[in-house]
Amino acid sequence: MIWIIPALAGLLIVYLAARFSRFRRFAEPVVTLAVAAGLIAAFVVWWTDDSAKTMTEDPAIVVTDPVVTPEDIALTGLAIVQGTPKTTHHLSAVIRNKSAIGIDYFTLVVTMQDCPNEVCTTIGADEALILARLGPGQSQPIRTTLIFPVSPLSPPTAIRWQYRIEKIRTAR
């Protein structure tokens, strides 16, 4: 609610500047300097803000997060179906947390390749953030949409999919 005071002061200055030309000649440089000083002060506060720094920057404090590796997350029943438009693909699968630690989310990176005659050309890759709050040993179905730059002039003839799991966030 403290913002009301500067707002009212600003409205008063604008009113007086519009009403009296002598006040305008005085107020314009003063307001310009006040705004510049406010911007500099805001920059200094932002630059020296200690609350934005994490506690792990102190070498005396060691924070150990539980680790879940990509091998601890099983992806079964993976199916990717082309949607409309043809650049859209719908992925569905069942994920299983094989670790002893719960997970909140992870990133699934899927790469589309065209492999006629076993010579593969990468068409594109897309990342999907999978929100899956799973406890140890739990599984859950997932669905997501992926976008690939498929050209209508040269559609792929032998699609091969590759995927990897990255950026796993564990439950705390």
Residue 76: Cβ-neighbour burial (10 angstroms; 0-12, 13-18, 19+): exposed
- At 46-97, the pLDDT tens digits run 888 766 555 445 555 555 556 888 888 888 998 988 888 878 889 999 999 9
**Any idea which of 4-13, 120-129, 159-168 has the lowest mean pLDDT?**
4-13
| Residue 14 confidence class, pLDDT cut points 50, 70, 90 | confident
pLDDT exceeds cutoff 80 at 32: yes
pLDDT > 70: percent of the chain = 88
Residue 50's pLDDT is: 65
| Residue 10 confidence class, pLDDT cut points 50, 70, 90 | confident
Q: Could you tell me which residues are beta bridge partners of residue 159?
A: 114
Sequence spans of domains, the chain: 4-54, 70-170
Q: What is the distance between the terminal CA atoms of the chain, rounded to a whole angstrom?
A: 35
CA 54 to chain CA centroid, Å, is 19
Domain spanning 70-170, CATH architecture? Sandwich (2.60)
Which pTM does this prediction carry? Answer: 0.58
Q: Could you tell me which residues are beta bridge partners of residue 50?
A: none
- What DSSP element (H or E) covers 41? helix 21-47
